[in-house]
Chains A and B, each alone.
Chain A
Amino acid sequence: MKRRDFIQQTAAASALIGLGGMGLTSFAPATKKITILHTNDVHSHIDAFGPDDGRNPNQGGVSRRATLIANIRKENPNTLLLDAGDIFQGTPYFNYYGGELEFKLMSMLKYDVATIGNHDFDNGIDGLFAQLPHAKFDFVSANYDFSNTILDTHVKPYKILVKDGIKIGIFGLGIELNGLVEQRMYKETKYLDPTETAQEMTRILKQDEHCDLIICLSHLGYNYRNRPEKISDLKLAETTKDIDLIIGGHTHTFLKKPTVVKNSEGKNLLVNQVGCYGINLGKIDFYFDADKNKSANGTSIIV
């Protein structure tokens, strides 16, 4: 988007929000805003990188992230906090406590939903199960069939949350474990085709549950340039419909801004990933209005 358009759009939007507030004194404001905050591949990076770190000096740290998230929630209580997997493995905190501290801190930060990354199996499926009591948030995974494992019923395919009357459906997708994680770690977990699973999920969330917003929490990886046949977030975005946002992980991809992709129906959606190690926080704001005219020409995306 050109800068000129950006300024115009922003000005128009603010004007409309202002009008909405003044004009409609009835029970509900005309405009609703849902904020989605997200992380991925934090890999047990609880402390910030030190000043002498060769690559990311003074970056990251859970206690700083906590302040930022609290401020954003104060600004907009209709905020969800999500994680796209690989919470575990990367610092001695994981070796010492097996993920207990990671889950406890994410609970204190009030994470709502997370999905499972390949490294979350690093202490085996039993190791993950053992830490679940410390997580006061939900795990979603639609393409890992855990029915023959200890995680059966503990991980749901999707979760529906309602914020300010907006119905938000969130489903999870995980990467193929065979060849990446030893079988003795993931045991009888069955991997299902991500594209077919996504189609099934969007059918449930859109047609049966009438969600206003559908989010895919994915640990598939952003894009595999040298392996175009391999499923990735970009590929999933292009070949499915009714998803509004794919929050990705696994490839530790640092994007300058979220990627806008056209889905199988030619509609725009966003694919985002915020690198790794808790260095960044992703923030996506969704604006809803009762006035159909405003969305008649499609949804404007400002990134």
Chain B
Amino acid sequence: MNYKHSLFLICLLIFCSCKQEVHLYKIEGQQINISDSLTSSSEIEDFIKPYRDNVNKNLDSILAYAVDTYSKSDGEYNTAIGNMMADAVYEEANPVFKSRTGEDIDFVLLNHGGIRAIISKGSVTTRTAYEIMPFENSTVVVKLKGEQVQELIDYLVKAKRAHPISKLNIVLDADGNLESAGLNGKPIDFTKTYNVATNDYLYNGGDRMDFFKTNDSLYVLDYKIRNVLIDYFKKTDTLNPVIDNRFIQLNN
């Protein structure tokens, strides 16, 4: 060990002996509510303002007019708002799908739980689309064999929920069993393969729609459901969706 090293060691020893050992002896914990009794920081408020103004300007721009208030709880096996959503997916996504693949979407299936808000009577804005669909879920087209289409129909018959559908028809008998199922009024050929439009949440097993797992192919449109709605609202001057007979139960 040379002179420099020993000097360094001495310094280190002195330094170490000077450093006080600290001991944790007390902890105090509390939760503070952020309430309106606190003054807002004007610096932060000023920073947020242009962002807020831009978002609000966009969100509050009027796209369409709703004749009535539409809720997903109005209707037993199909609802006006659900029908509108499924039909919008067909109308907006099919041209995109066709231009890229040359094929048509055969039918649409969404989920009842995916309708997150009502449409209130009056002005329909971009904000309405965000309220109905706050998530970033996108439209996908799944190629399903007849066997899986059968599973899909069995699922809907069993679920007895107003999952939004378009182009597909299901009739239950008085006992709640399947009476008939069709596509555009024609019977389904279960030996064929069908293009089913849905969202990526359901494709990935959401709501236990496991029939999507066994598929021939997946086509990702990169088209968010919310943007489908926004485009549909822009195109439609007056929203007037109705409960129809696409999914019904027969009386005795």
Given A95-B130, A282-B31, A303-B30, decide whether A213 and B24 contact each other with a Cβ distance below 8 A. Answer: yes
A residues within 8 A CB of B21?
290, 292
Contact (Cβ within 8 A) A182 B204: yes
Given A105-B48, A283-B29, A283-B30, decide whether A165 and B22 contact each other with a Cβ distance below 8 A. Answer: yes
* Complex interface: stretch among B52-60, B81-89, B241-249: B52-60
A residues within 8 A CB of B44?
62-63, 66, 105, 108-109
Contact (Cβ within 8 A) A287 B24: yes
Contact (Cβ within 8 A) B40 A101: no
Contact (Cβ within 8 A) B22 A212: yes
Contact (Cβ within 8 A) B28 A290: no
Q: CB within 8 A of A92: which of B29, B40, B45, B59?
A: B59
B residues within 8 A CB of A172?
none
Interface of B is mostly: mixed
Interface residue A285 (Cβ < 8 Å from any Cβ of B): yes
Q: CB within 8 A of A60: which of B30, B34, B42, B200?
A: B34
A residues within 8 A CB of B39?
64, 67
Given A67-B39, A96-B55, decide whether A290 and B20 contact each other with a Cβ distance below 8 A. Answer: yes
Interface size class of A (residues with CB under 8 A): 35 or more
Please name the residue on chain B nearest to A299 by beta carbon: B24
Complex: how many Å from CA A260 to CA B25? 15
With both chains docked as a complex, state the minimum distance between the C-beta of A103 and any C-beta of chain B, in angstroms: 12
A residues within 8 A CB of B175?
none
Contact (Cβ within 8 A) A257 B24: no
20 further A-B pairs in the complex, CB-CB below 8 A; given A93-B55, A108-B43, A270-B27: A47-B52, A48-B36, A58-B35, A64-B34, A66-B41, A67-B38, A68-B38, A89-B136, A105-B48, A281-B31, A281-B32, A282-B31, A283-B29, A283-B31, A284-B30, A287-B25, A287-B26, A290-B22, A300-B27, A303-B28
Complex: how many Å from CA A65 to CA B45? 11
Q: How many A-B residue pairs have CB under 8 A?
A: 168
Contact (Cβ within 8 A) A166 B22: yes
With both chains docked as a complex, state the minimum distance between the C-beta of B205 and any C-beta of chain A, in angstroms: 9
Given A70-B41, A93-B51, decide whether A274 and B29 contact each other with a Cβ distance below 8 A. Answer: no
With both chains docked as a complex, state the minimum distance between the C-beta of A178 and any C-beta of chain B, in angstroms: 11
With both chains docked as a complex, state the minimum distance between the C-beta of A31 and any C-beta of chain B, in angstroms: 9
Contact (Cβ within 8 A) B25 A300: yes
Given A92-B55, A93-B55, A182-B200, decide whether A257 and B34 contact each other with a Cβ distance below 8 A. Answer: no
Nearest 3 pairs of A and B residues by beta carbon: A66-B41, A63-B40, A295-B23
B residues within 8 A CB of A289?
22-23, 25
Interface residue B2 (Cβ < 8 Å from any Cβ of A): no
**Chain B interface residues toward A at CB < 8 A:** 20-36, 38-45, 47-48, 51-52, 54-55, 58-59, 127, 130, 134, 136, 200, 204
Please name the residue on chain A nearest to B18 by beta carbon: A27
Please name the residue on chain A nearest to B21 by beta carbon: A290
A residues within 8 A CB of B127?
92
Contact (Cβ within 8 A) A101 B29: no
With both chains docked as a complex, state the minimum distance between the C-beta of B54 and any C-beta of chain A, in angstroms: 7
Interface residue A279 (Cβ < 8 Å from any Cβ of B): yes
With both chains docked as a complex, state the minimum distance between the C-beta of B22 and any C-beta of chain A, in angstroms: 4
Q: CB within 8 A of B31: which of A70, A105, A257?
A: A257
Given A67-B39, A105-B47, decide whether A96 and B27 contact each other with a Cβ distance below 8 A. Answer: no
Contact (Cβ within 8 A) B29 A294: no
B residues within 8 A CB of A165?
20, 22
With both chains docked as a complex, state the minimum distance between the C-beta of B60 and any C-beta of chain A, in angstroms: 11
Q: CB within 8 A of A303: which of B23, B29, B38?
A: B29
Within 8 A of B (CB), among A110-148: 122-123
With both chains docked as a complex, state the minimum distance between the C-beta of B151 and any C-beta of chain A, in angstroms: 22
Please name the residue on chain A nearest to B30 by beta carbon: A283
Given A66-B41, A280-B31, A283-B30, decide whether A101 and B51 contact each other with a Cβ distance below 8 A. Answer: yes
A residues within 8 A CB of B31?
255-258, 272, 274, 280-283
